[in-house]
Structure 1
Amino acid sequence: MLKKMISLISEQPLHTLDVINWAAPIPYFGDPCKATIATVGLNPSDREFVSSEGTELNDSSRRFHTLTSLGLASWNELTLEQLESIHTSCAEYFSRNPYDAWFKPLDLLLSGTNDSFYSPLFHACHLDLIPYATCIKWAFLKTWQRDSLLTISAGFLGQVLKYSPIKMLVLNGKTVVENFERACDVSFHKEPMDAWCLPRKNGNHVSGFSYEGKISRMADINIGRDVYILGYNHNIQSSYGVTSSVRTSIQEWISQKAKEILN
């Protein structure tokens, strides 16, 4: 699967989708083979590969492999040993140099389940719908680019789920939920959550919603079991004005649902 992801970088379709073509794909953050819970986002941030100034991370600040770190002129030169090194950098991500500013708030939502990105014993992992980092943010990609990336990538995520013990996914935000529904051709149960409302001074408060469902297929992949889905409409990292009380309420909801699903 990882080899196929990498081979696509050298092919024509991805050249038109603003994918960072010198960066390795990221099929998982942490080890899915050791996780029963995974959070889900859209696609890797470019900050996994570059600094705030836009220069490639290197030495101790490096998080994932690139053509430069592997000493390659193109991905066609990749060896099996280098492929294994890419896998290891993904599986061991949280014990190295994780992007804590993004992952710590998400990890906090899992705290009531006892699972954590940072725990080797009760390990949670993070998955993205699309394993490729892009040069520009998801919201600024053209609609056809987003559609193409989702179509290309959905089967990869299905394979990760199929060959892991993951039982529950937590979808981070409305955009993730909507794209996940499209990738699986399903609709999740949507419920208004008064405690998740974000107040605004102008009175146009942002309502809170929870999502629940389950899947057994993703794209053309038969996962072979039910995987339970939880989601919320606020993006924990970027939604303006997500208060501590709303975060706590979401965390408590996830904890309660996890007890029902995993026990």
Structure 2
Amino acid sequence: MTYLDNVIYRRLNMTPPENCTVVPRSTPVIAFGRYKTAPIATVSLNPSYREFQLVGGQHRFQTLDTLDVCDYGQLQKGDCKKILDYCERYFERPGIPLDWFKRLGDLLGSITGKSYADGIACHLDISQWATREVWANLNEDQKQALLEHDLEVLKDLIVHGPYRAILLNGWKTAKEVFRILNLRPTRVSLRKTYTTDEGTRKPKVDGYYVEVDSLLGAPLNRRLQVFGWNVYAKYAGKDSLELIANWIREQLHDLNHVEAEAN
């Protein structure tokens, strides 16, 4: 197994932190989509509890019950492969609602002309545990408990994965990822706050960008572009997402190469 395989297998055997509203008997969502081959990775906060609700009698992800094991320490290599198979085929399995990914998917399409299902991108989170409470409603102790090991896993995925571009959804995500990777991005003002003639308030939109060929003192075998922005895609207006998409598309100098890798 590769170094990254070992990291992921160890992560799957970890017990969830207590009192963090982790969905009972859920398994860690290492990724949504083809994380081993996708040239782009979008990153957000953590999976929704809805990912472990049945859809037409179908499970979106494996659970301890579907795997017929009592606890995480009992997961064997075969169980881990089943968990990761569901992760990799998330966007390809029929009948899986993709409501949460609608806005990020639109952004991705505006940048590349392709979708998650095409293999152009996968999605990662700063915490791999699905929680009943949304991230904003968790207290700081709960967030830190969830991130204690998960941020390290995300870091290893970025450092040792195939990604040429990382897209960080929202300021909270961007701040954590830039911190763990020890990166100092350049801030770009995409739009200042203003009020239209009709009285509609348009929020400030900032971008954050850095390009590197090494991370944490180690050389990469590729150029890596990391983009972040301050608004959360799910709640951002279409005009804000268009600003972000146009900015990224202009900067993404390896777009043709990125698209070729996904085919």
Smaller-chain TM-score bracket: 0.7 to 0.9
Q: Quick one: which amino acid aligns to residue 158 of structure 1?
A: K
Paired position in structure 2 for 1:49: 52
Question: Taking every aligned residue pair, what percent have the same amino acid on both sides?
Answer: 25
Q: Is the 8 A contact 1:30 1:126 kept in 2?
A: yes
Mean Cα deviation higher: 206-215 or 222-231: 222-231
SS across alignment from 2:118: coil
Q: Is the 8 A contact 1:9 1:21 kept in 2?
A: no
Q: For 2:43, which of 36, 40, 43 is the aligned residue?
A: 40
Q: For 2:28, which of 25, 28, 38 is the aligned residue?
A: 25
Cα deviation, residue 143, structure 1: 0.9
1:250 aligns with 2:248: no
Q: Quick one: which amino acid aligns to residue 224 of structure 1?
A: L
CA distance in 2, matches of 1:162, 1:5: 16
SS across alignment from 1:32: coil
TM-score, with length taken from structure 1: 0.82
Cα deviation, residue 75, structure 1: 2.1
Structure 1 residue ranges without an equivalent (≥5): 51-56
CA RMSD of superposed structures (Å): 2.7
Structure 2 residue ranges without an equivalent (≥5): 1-6, 258-263
Cα deviation, residue 149, structure 1: 2.3
Identify if the C-alpha distance between structure 1 residues 27 and 197 changes in structure 2 by more than 3 Å, giving closer, same or farther.
farther
CA distance in 2, matches of 1:46, 1:188: 32
Matches of residues 70-219 of structure 1 in structure 2 within 5 Å? Answer: 70-96=67-93, 97-111=95-109, 112-120=111-119, 123-194=120-191, 197=193, 205-214=202-211, 216-217=214-215
SS across alignment from 1:29: coil
Identify if the C-alpha distance between structure 1 residues 45 and 141 changes in structure 2 by more than 3 Å, giving closer, same or farther.
same
Q: Is the 8 A contact 1:35 1:166 kept in 2?
A: yes
Cα deviation, residue 161, structure 1: 2.3
CA distance in 2, matches of 1:105, 1:223: 34
Identify if the C-alpha distance between structure 1 residues 206 and 58 changes in structure 2 by more than 3 Å, giving closer, same or farther.
closer
**Count of aligned residue pairs for this structure pair:** 246
SS across alignment from 2:246: helix
CA distance in 1, matches of 2:11, 2:231: 30
Q: Is the 8 A contact 1:117 1:125 kept in 2?
A: yes
Runs of 4+ displaced beyond 3 Å: 58-61, 196-205, 214-218, 221-226, 260-263
TM-score, with length taken from structure 2: 0.82
Q: Is the 8 A contact 1:197 1:246 kept in 2?
A: no
Cα deviation, residue 44, structure 1: 0.8
CA distance in 1, matches of 2:185, 2:97: 30
SS across alignment from 2:87: helix
Paired position in structure 2 for 1:69: 66
Identify if the C-alpha distance between structure 1 residues 99 and 232 changes in structure 2 by more than 3 Å, giving closer, same or farther.
farther
Paired position in structure 2 for 1:224: 220
